[in-house]
Amino acid sequence: MHTDDGGHRDRAVAALAEHAYEDAGDAYTRAAWRVLADPRPGQSPFDADEKGWVGDGLASLVRSAVCYRVAGRPERATRRGVEGVAVARDLQSALDHPLQRACLDEVVADCKTAGGLDGGAAAYDAATDAYREAADPETDPQYWGTTPLFEAAAPLQQVARTTANGEIAVSWEDLHGPDPAQAGEFLAGRATVKRQRFRELVERVVADRVLAAPRGTTEYDTDHHRCPACDSTDVNWVADSTLCLRCSRPTEATGGE
């Protein structure tokens, strides 16, 4: 993390590993509030900021909404979705680059989709149009796509890996159009992919009542860890946890080198 969330993200991941999804939602909510209040030392969330550090907080709101729905608490998910929409709309008056405002349109759609609100598809369409209008011949979409605000797309990837045995199911390349020279279409691809996939993926993890941890640093076929839940030796180091890459349960050291 590039922002200080007070350790709440670590606690959220640990709760995911225990399938304590409401606790995870609470921890992600607290992480969001902490980052949105003070994105970086000395920086107000209402300051124009080319990196868009508030993206870390917005992503945590989206994750919290998904956690609450998986926990069977849709009313709390709805509140987080509404909250995220309001915050993203308000930040459009603070972040001054047109591409950032388009990205905040995308975040609005994410919050509606994660929170189970109406209007997610239309919001993605609005983001698609906004990206096309905001891009110009000087736009470097690969730069913008790797800033913290744009990386707030990560909850889609977390939800997707839940349905793919822990593997990367939606990569950064999958999220964008094929040609970065066409900046508008390249960035608009983000909203198009999410419109096609995010709602269905969220509904699937809600039905299955399971949500994987985010993917961190991974290692396959180790001789030093084994998962007591599924017997896998593939490891995911993420936040402050050492988890099974496959089922996101805590994995145990076996003493190998």
Tokens (6 digits) for 220: 């396959």
Q: Say yes or no: 100 and 224 in one domain.
A: no
- pLDDT grade, residue 137 (50/70/90)? confident
Residue 255 Ramachandran class (φ > 0 left, ψ -120 to 50 alpha, else beta):
left
Closest CA to 9 of 240, 236, 237, 215: 240
Q: How far apart are CA 66 and CA 16, in angstroms?
A: 12
> Does residue 32 carry a pLDDT above 90?
yes
Which residues are within 8 A (CB) of 172 and not within 5 positions of it... i.e. 6 or more apart?
145
User: Using one digit for the tens of pLDDT, what is the confidence trace for 86-134?
Assistant: 999 999 999 989 999 999 999 999 999 999 999 999 999 999 999 999 9
Residue 232 and residue 158 in one domain? no
Does residue 67 belong to any structural domain of this protein? yes
Calculate mean pLDDT across residues 235-255: 96
**Average pLDDT score, the chain:** 96
> Is there a domain that residue 186 lies in?
yes
- 112 with 234, same domain: the answer is no
Residues 146 and 229 grouped into a single domain: no
Shared domain check, 146 and 22: yes
Do 236 and 194 lie in a common domain? no
Is residue 2 in a domain? no
Q: What is the predicted pLDDT for the residue at 256?
A: 57
pTM: 0.96
pLDDT in tens, 34-81: 999 999 999 999 999 999 999 999 999 999 999 999 999 999 999 999
Based on the domain organization, do 119 and 243 belong to the same domain?
no
Residues 204 and 233 in one domain: no
- 1 in a structural domain: no
pLDDT digits (tens, 9 = 90+) for 144-164: 999 999 999 889 999 999 999
Q: Which amino acid makes up residue 216?
A: G
Residue pLDDT, tens place only, 173-203 = 999 989 999 999 999 999 999 999 999 999 9
Q: Are residues 166 and 111 in the same domain?
A: yes
- Give me the pLDDT at residue 2, please: 77
Domain housing 225 = 217-253
What values do phi and psi take at 225, rounded to 5?
-140, 145
Produce one character per residue of 48-70: b if its CB has 16 or more CB atoms within 10 Å, e if not: ebebbbbbbbbbbbbbbbbbbbb
Do residues 153 and 233 both lie within one domain?
Answer: no
When divided into structural domains, the chain yields a total of 2
CA angle 119, 123, 126 (to 5 degrees): 145
81 occurs within a structural domain: yes
Do 44 and 89 share a domain, yes or no?
A: yes
3, part of any domain: no
The verdict on 222 and 136 lying in the same domain is: no
